[in-house]
């Protein structure tokens, strides 16, 4: 068999495998979409009879060290981070000595501001005042 014939056979095999993979992926997407639509219809037909049983024990609190770490890690993302009403954007590679006024042992509560699609837009931390 000539070299050109071998290359043609390999190319045809690759094309057939690629088309088969595309069709298989399209079929899987259709199946998942149908299952999701069926689940939405089923939940809509429940007419409020679905109740959640998972309850949290309260608000999740963060320490000042966790807040500081979060502010530094969120830099470079599109998420804005706010601590006690002041927004911070710090590049740890350029500004290593920038100080964020956070009490490392303090307790902070968080607020998540999301878009209509559920994307996180802003993360706010507020210091909890200890009552005496």
Specify the pTM.
0.47
Within-domain flag for 97: yes
pLDDT in tens, 7-54: 999 999 999 999 999 999 999 999 999 998 888 888 777 766 666 565
Is there a domain that residue 122 lies in? Answer: yes
3-class secondary structure per residue, the chain: CCHHHHHHHHHHHHHHHHHHHHHHHHHHHHHHHHHHHHHHHHHHHCCCCCCCCCCCCCCCEEEHHHHHHHHHHHCCCCCEEEECCEEECCCCCCCCCCCCCCCCCCEEEEEEEECCCCCEEEEEEEECCCCC
Q: What percent of the chain has pLDDT over 90?
A: 24
Domain count for the chain, please give it.
Answer: 2
Angle (CA) 96-83-104 rounded to 5° is: 65
Greater model confidence, 12 or 94: 12
> Which residue range forms the structural domain that includes residue 102?
61-127
Residues 71 and 89 in one domain: yes
Q: Are residues 66 and 117 in the same domain?
A: yes
């Amino acid at each position: 068999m000539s070299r050109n014939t071998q290359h043609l056979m390999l190319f045809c095999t690759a094309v057939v495998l690629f088309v088969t993979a595309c069709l298989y992926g399209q079929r899987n997407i259709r199946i998942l979409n149908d299952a999701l639509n069926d689940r939405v219809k089923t939940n809509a037909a429940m007419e409020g009879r679905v109740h959640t049983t998972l309850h949290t024990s309260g608000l999740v609190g963060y320490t000042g060290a966790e807040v500081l770490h979060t502010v530094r890690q969120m830099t470079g993302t599109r998420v804005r981070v706010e601590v006690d009403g002041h927004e911070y954007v710090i590049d740890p590679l350029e500004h290593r000595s920038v100080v964020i006024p956070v009490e490392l042992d303090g307790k902070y509560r968080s607020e998540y501001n999301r878009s209509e699609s559920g994307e996180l837009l802003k993360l706010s931390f507020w210091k909890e005042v200890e009552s005496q």
